[in-house]
Amino acid sequence: MMPHLTGENLAREMLVARKDIPIIMITGYGENATGEMSADIGIREFMLKPVGAADLGNAVRRVLDTVMPSA
């Protein structure tokens, strides 16, 4: 939890500052945030806690592949 700022609002502010920044949102509050809402904002990956290391690594790989596709 962040005081006075939600993850959704932080992501929005980051994307205003830098439209191409890849964001992975990880939350324990799935009832307040959804993958569809996150995608609409521009968040690249949405995950619900608990997140295992392999799942997080796979999400990072997917995001990096969209930012830096292999030659």
d(CA 18, CA 50): 28
Domain with 50 in it = 7-67
1 within a domain of the structure (yes/no): no
Q: Considering the domain boundaries, does residue 30 fall inside one?
A: yes
Cα–Cα distance between 12 and 19 in angstroms, integer? 9
* pLDDT score for 54: 98
Contact between residue 7 and residue 47 where contact means Cβ atoms under 8 Å apart: no
- The verdict on residue 13 lying in a domain is yes
Extract the tokens encoding 27: 């939350």
| Tally of domains within the chain | 1
For the question of whether the overall pTM of this predicted structure is more than 0.85, the answer is no
Q: What is the pLDDT of residues 8-59, one digit of tens each?
A: 899 999 999 999 999 999 988 766 677 788 889 999 999 999 999 999 999 9
